[in-house]
Amino acid sequence: MAYDNPSLTVVTEEVPPGALRWRSPSNIALVKYWGKHGDQLPRNASVSFTLQNAATDTTLHYAPRRESVTGGVDVQLQLAGTPEPKFTARTQTYLKRLLPVYPFLRQLELRIETQNSFPHSAGIASSASGMSALALCLVSLEEQLFEPLPDRAAFLRKASYLARLGSGSACRSVYGGAAVWGQVPELSDSSGAYAVSIAEQLHPTFQSYHDDILLVSRSEKAVSSRAGHGLMDQNPYAPPRYAQANARSREILGVLQRGDTERFGQLLESEALTLHALMMSSQPSYTLIEPNTLHVINLLRQFRSETGHPIYFTLDAGPNVHLLYPEAVAEPTRRFIREHLLPYCEDRMYLADRVGTGPEQLEVNQTTPA
């Protein structure tokens, strides 16, 4: 599918300055996507929980462009109040890619103010929350300048499609609860072009699931996710991995419907370790796990063995450890984290999070010309 629409242009003089603001969460992949092809399309299906507290707050200011409209997009970006030339350039490249969909973007001056509730580039999917927030702002801008999309489902699907073009996993963040990206036979509307929601299929146990993120390191990753995906093209284990991930995506749908926390945990941990094994078997190889990552995992396994509590870990593309567990064991788990795991976290920090309800459009704090 494609959303190209050359008719979406404006009469510049008739566009009043304005602003739109969205808060969009990160997500944690249960079955991992690692490897892509074509235009940001996944090599395998993936399944994720949408988080509640780890999120990006983005305000898109827009005004008619005063100079001659040629070439690209006029955009400036501030991250946490500081101009960021690197992210501005990346965002400009992204928006230029969207010109076949939104040709009006070259007719506007854009200024983006964005901030995260968590450390950037530390393996907590900041690109997922950031790009989904921006995509939601853009679809809202389309509705502001032209006409509403048919319904909320169409709005979210378009936002998911646009978010994917900026960061693959971002397409899952536009949905609350849980989402699937990539084709899964059991989901007739599933696609590699956008994600679909499976929130209504979650067993009550998983609707309130916790995800506490232990910040083993807040440093920027040595190897970006973009580079890591590229290395999968030559990885000898890539083809069987894609088949495994597709099979697991199908299996975990049933697990999430049944509320099977034990099988959920087995899949979760195997997926985490498989992801990092793929990194270590790339050419060149690299590791994002740190010694304290392994200390946390070993202590968790010991605690689970001693108590029988269904607490399991996963890892994203970084050293930080996500602990996932049901509400029923929240109190002993938090106590275990504070007493035994925080010494392995940078500055003894962790983020208490849980499955969330998805993005939210917010009131703009202050509307100023772009």
Fold of 12-200: Ribosomal Protein S5; domain 2 (3.30.230)
pLDDT digits (tens, 9 = 90+) for 9-25: 999 999 999 999 999 99
Tokens, residue 4: 């190209």
Which ranges in the chain are annotated with CATH 3.30.70.890? 205-354
User: Which residues belong to CATH 3.30.230.10 in the chain?
Assistant: 12-200
Span 148-167, average pLDDT: 97
Looking up tokens 């990753």 gives 221
Q: pLDDT for 186-224, tens place per residue? A: 999 999 999 999 999 999 999 999 999 999 998 877 888
Residues counted in the chain: 370
Which distant-in-sequence residues (6+ apart) come within 8 Å of 187 by Cβ?
Answer: 180, 196, 198, 253
- For residue 368, what pLDDT band results from cuts at 50, 70 and 90? very low
**pLDDT, the chain, mean:** 94
Confidence of residue 1 (pLDDT cuts 50, 70, 90): low
DSSP characters for 50-88? Answer: EEEEEEEEEEEEEEE--S---SS-EEEEEETTEE-HHHH
For residue 370, pLDDT over 50 is answered with no
Tell me if residue 142 falls in helix, strand or coil. Answer: helix
User: Does the bond joining 6 to the residue before it have cis omega, within 30 degrees of 0?
Assistant: no
**Residue 58 to residue 79: CA distance in whole angstroms:** 9
27-41, 58-72, 273-287: segment of lowest average pLDDT:
58-72
pLDDT tier at 365, thresholds 50, 70, 90: confident
155 pLDDT above the threshold of 80 = yes
Q: What's domain 205-354's superfamily in CATH? A: GHMP kinase, C-terminal domain (3.30.70.890)
Whether residue 332 is predicted with pLDDT greater than 70 in this model: the reply is: yes
Phi-psi sector, 240: left (phi>0), alpha (psi -120 to 50), beta = alpha
pLDDT category, 119, cuts 50, 70, 90? low
18's tokens: 């304005």
Determine the 3-state secondary structure of 39 from DSSP.
Answer: coil
Task: Give exposure, 241-272, as e/b (b: 16+ Cβ within 10 Å).
Answer: bbebbbebbbebbebbeeebbeebbebbbebb
Burial of 339 (0-12, 13-18, 19+ CB in 10 A): exposed
Helix (H) / strand (E) element for 315: namely: strand 312-315
Confidence of residue 118 (pLDDT cuts 50, 70, 90): confident
